A = this chain, B = another copy of it.
Amino acid sequence: MREISIVSGNRHKVDELMPLAKAHGIRLKWINYSKVEIQADGISDIARAGGILAYAALGVPLIVEDTGIFISALKGFPGPYSAQAYKTIGLEGILTLLKGRKSRKAEFRTAICYAGDEDTVVFEGVVHGTIATRIRGGRDFGYDPIFIPEGHTKAYSEMELAEKNSASHRAAAFEKFAEYLSRK
């Protein structure tokens, strides 16, 4: 089994990635440490910088991930700063900003950066969907209670983890990374 470290201060993210990794024969070793995050419009740039700096510091093959939700009617807000918006204005604030808007379209994006001895590569996963009109129940993780992926009626929060992982932005990015690793 291949061992790759994941540098993250967020247990939820690691919990989601663990079963995905296992299914691909990858042992993820959790390094519970917040990567350095730069400010940038694109999460790929944030993940890449974080991966490079983490690898420079730790010297072991590793991944870092960055995730954001981009709401069309709000010009991509909160995007790269989704965590800060969640902690401050919260999901209620997002719903307030969307009141009366025609479009509730959003994209959930994850970028995973692999940094190893030779390569630094970024893999992106995107899921299109809509913002719910109220906060839905279920697992309470980030924007999951208000994001309904395209082709579904349930919010992410209302799905079992396995169901979310069969259709999520984070899973899509990880699949690409696993595919890359298998060819290495």
Q: Which residue numbers of A lie inside 8 Å of B, CB to CB?
A: 36-39, 41, 46, 74-81, 84-85, 87-89, 93, 96-97, 99
* B77 close to A84 (CB less than 8 A): yes
* Residue of B with least CB distance to A41: B84
State which of B36, B74, B84 has its C-beta within 8 Å of the C-beta of A88.
B74
Which of these, B39, B75, B87, contacts A87 with CB under 8 Å? B75
Of the candidates B39, B85, B89, B97, the one whose C-beta lies within 8 Å of that of A38 is B39
Top 10 nearest A-B pairs (CB, nearest first) are: A77-B88, A37-B39, A75-B88, A81-B81, A77-B89, A74-B89, A74-B88, A93-B97, A38-B38, A39-B39
Complex: A12 Cα to B80 Cα, angstroms:
25
Please name 8 further chain A to chain B contacts, defined as beta carbons within 8 Å, in addition to the given A74-B93, A77-B84, A77-B85, sorted by A numbering.
Answer: A39-B46, A41-B84, A75-B88, A78-B88, A79-B84, A81-B81, A81-B84, A96-B99
